[in-house]
C-alpha cells in the first residue's frame, strides 16, 4: 500500500474482547496503520467462518457499545474520527476514476516480452487513491527471464519521465514462474495478495492465487477475480523478442542483468539515496524475484501492527 505510515495512539480498551471479536479488531488495527476504516462487507471478508448478518451485527454492536470501535458514515474504525471516513470516501472516488486507466496500462504491460501476468497492487488495488497516488503493478514473468523482462519494462518507464507519466508505471514487484510461492507469509503480504486486481494473464494468476492460498487466512472471503480473455495486441512483437532470447545466450544475459541491477541498487541503498517520497531506496532481489521496499516499509508496518495489537491487549 502506498499510504503514509504513522503511529497514532489507541484509546484505552474498556474491556478485553472475546475471541470471536478479536479477528475484527485485528483487521481494523491493521488498516488503521493506513488511516483506512472498513465497511461491514470488508470486515466479513476477514472472518474464517460463515456468520449471519444478525451475528455479525451483534458482534459489531458489542464492540461499539464498549467503545472498542467506532462507526462513521458506514465505516468502522478503532478511532472515533469522522475525518477518516471522509478521507476514505474521497479516496475511493478518486480510485474509481483511476482504475479504468490503470487496467488499460496493465494490459499494455502484458504485451512486453516474457510477461505472463499483470495485476494492480498497492493502495489502488484496495480502491483508494490520494492526491499523489502512483499506479503500482505486480508482474509475473516466464521462468529465468525476469531480469530481461524487468530491464525492458524499466527502459520504457524512463521514457515516461519525459511526459511526466512515470507514476502510472510503478512495476514494484516481480516474480517469475519458479517463485510463485511467496515465502514471507504474514498479514502484510497476505492482504497484498488477497487484494490484488488481476488485469492480464488469467491462467498464470489463477495458479499464483492457488499456490498462495495461505493468504486466505487474512481475507478468506476474497471473491474470485474475473479476467476476460487476454487480447492479442502486438503479441507478434512479444513472441519474436522471446524467440531471440529463448536460448543459452538469453540465460546468460538474464544472469548478467540480475547481477548488474543488484549491484547498482546496493550502491543506491548504501549511499542513502532517497526516492521522490523521501524514503531510502531499496530493492530486494533474487534470481527469481525483485521487489521494492523503500525505507523498509514492510518491516515498519509489521512493527506498528504488533504495537497496536499490544495496545488493544490482543497479544
What is the per-residue pLDDT across 210-238, written as a single tens digit (0 to 9) for each? 999 999 888 776 655 555 555 555 588 89
Q: How far apart are CA 138 and CA 117, in angstroms?
A: 8
278 conformational bin, left if phi > 0, alpha if psi -120 to 50, beta if neither: left
Q: How many helices (DSSP H) and strands (DSSP E) are in the chain? A: 10, 8
What residue ranges do the domains of the chain occupy? 100-296
CB atoms within 10 A of CB 74: 13
Asked if pLDDT for residue 268 goes beyond 70, the answer is yes
3-class secondary structure per residue, 117-166: EEEEECHHHHCCCCCCCCCEEEEEECCCCHHHHHHHHHHHHHHHHHHCCH
315: Cβ–Cβ under 8 A, 6 or more apart, which residues? 306, 309
Contact status, residue 194 vs residue 219, Cβ threshold 8 Å: yes
Q: How far apart are CA 55 and CA 304, in angstroms?
A: 30
Q: pLDDT band at residue 278, thresholds of 50, 70 and 90?
A: low
Q: What pLDDT does 19 receive?
A: 65
Helix or strand (DSSP H, E) at 89: helix 82-109
Q: Which residue has 479504468 as its cell numbers?
A: 100
What is the per-residue pLDDT across 115-142, written as a single tens digit (0 to 9) for each? 999 999 999 999 999 888 889 999 999 9
Q: Give pTM, 2 decimals.
A: 0.87
Asked if pLDDT for residue 243 goes beyond 80, the answer is yes
Task: Express as a percent the part of the chain with pLDDT over 70.
Answer: 85
Contact status, residue 188 vs residue 302, Cβ threshold 8 Å: yes
Q: What pLDDT does 279 receive?
A: 59
Amino acid at each position: 500500500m502506498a499510504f503514509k505510515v504513522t503511529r497514532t495512539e489507541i484509546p484505552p480498551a474498556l474491556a478485553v474482547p472475546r475471541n470471536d471479536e478479536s479477528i475484527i479488531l485485528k483487521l481494523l488495527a491493521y488498516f488503521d496503520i493506513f488511516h483506512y476504516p472498513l465497511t461491514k462487507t470488508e470486515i466479513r471478508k476477514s472472518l474464517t467462518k460463515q456468520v449471519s448478518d444478525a451475528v455479525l451485527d451483534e458482534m459489531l454492536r458489542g464492540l461499539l457499545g464498549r467503545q472498542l470501535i467506532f462507526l462513521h458514515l458506514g465505516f468502522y474504525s478503532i478511532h472515533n474520527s469522522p475525518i477518516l471516513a471522509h478521507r476514505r470516501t474521497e479516496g475511493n472516488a478518486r480510485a474509481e476514476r483511476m482504475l479504468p486507466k490503470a487496467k488499460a496500462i496493465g494490459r499494455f504491460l502484458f504485451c512486453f516480452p516474457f510477461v505472463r501476468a499483470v495485476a494492480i497492487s498497492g493502495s489502488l488495488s484496495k480502491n483508494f487513491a490520494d492526491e499523489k497516488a502512483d499506479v503500482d503493478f505486480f508482474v509475473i514473468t516466464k521462468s529465468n527471464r525476469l531480469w530481461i523482462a524487468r530491464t525492458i519494462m524499466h527502459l520504457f518507464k524512463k521514457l515516461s519521465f519525459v511526459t511526466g507519466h512515470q507514476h502510472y508505471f510503478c512495476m514494484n514487484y516481480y516474480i517469475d514462474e519458479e517463485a510463485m510461492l511467496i515465502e514471507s507469509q504474514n498479514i502484510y503480504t497476505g492482504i497484498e495478495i488477497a487484494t490484488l486486481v488481476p488485469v492480464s494473464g488469467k491462467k498464470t494468476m489463477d495458479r499464483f492465487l492457488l499456490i498462495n492460498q495461505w493468504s486466505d487466512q487474512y481475507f478468506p472471503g476474497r471473491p474470485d477475480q474475473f479476467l476476460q480473455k487476454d487480447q492479442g495486441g502486438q503479441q507478434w512483437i512479444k513472441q519474436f523478442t522471446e524467440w531471440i532470447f529463448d536460448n543459452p545466450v538469453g540465460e546468460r544475459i538474464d544472469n548478467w542483468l540480475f547481477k548488474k541491477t543488484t549491484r547498482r541498487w546496493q550502491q543506491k541503498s548504501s549511499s542513502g539515496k532517497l526516492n521522490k517520497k523521501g524514503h531510502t531506496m531499496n530493492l530486494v532481489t533474487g534470481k527469481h524475484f525483485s521487489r521494492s521496499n523503500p525505507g523498509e516499509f514492510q518491516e515498519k508496518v509489521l512493527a506498528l501492527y504488533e504495537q497496536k495489537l499490544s495496545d488493544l491487549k490482543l497479544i
